């Protein structure tokens, strides 16, 4: 129970207000004192759920909601690790890219054999 109420949720919701410890329902006094001793504060979400966040988590969530202007986004470099995923190529294409010299050599040998079989008088 403590882990799901303590929260570091992956989908932040809209935080409506910070609550006082006496206004928090659904938690025992021991839980309230434990969370407050760790530095967490209770916040009520728009869904009515109560989450315990540290002040820096709360400020990050509020900052994330503010949109930056077009000019600010235009003139700032993108953050490192911006989530670009590596493109995966099919296995056959990878094999060809890694061994292209071998494939060219094999194609030349096959072409030479076809010429020798088709026109044996050129060699003998």
CB 31 within 8 A of CB 2: yes
Q: What is the model's pTM?
A: 0.41
Residue given tokens 């040998």 in the structure block: 109
The span from the CA of 38 to the CA of 8, in Å, is: 14
| DSSP code of residue 86 | P
pLDDT confidence of residue 66: 60
Q: What is the pLDDT of residues 33-72, one digit of tens each?
A: 898 888 888 888 777 788 888 877 766 666 555 667 778 7
Summary mean pLDDT of the chain: 78
């Amino acid at each position: 129970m403590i882990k799901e109420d303590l929260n570091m949720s992956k989908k932040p919701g809209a935080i409506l207000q910070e609550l006082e410890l006496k206004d928090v329902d659904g938690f025992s006094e021991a839980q309230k004192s434990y969370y407050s001793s760790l530095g967490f504060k209770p916040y009520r979400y728009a869904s009515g759920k109560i989450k315990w966040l540290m002040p820096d988590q709360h400020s990050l969530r509020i900052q994330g909601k503010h949109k930056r202007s077009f000019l600010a986004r235009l003139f700032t470099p993108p953050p490192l690790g911006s989530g670009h995923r590596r493109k995966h190529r099919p296995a056959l294409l990878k094999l060809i890219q890694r061994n292209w010299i071998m494939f060219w050599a094999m194609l030349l040998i096959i072409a030479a054999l076809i010429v020798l079989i088709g026109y044996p008088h050129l060699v003998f």
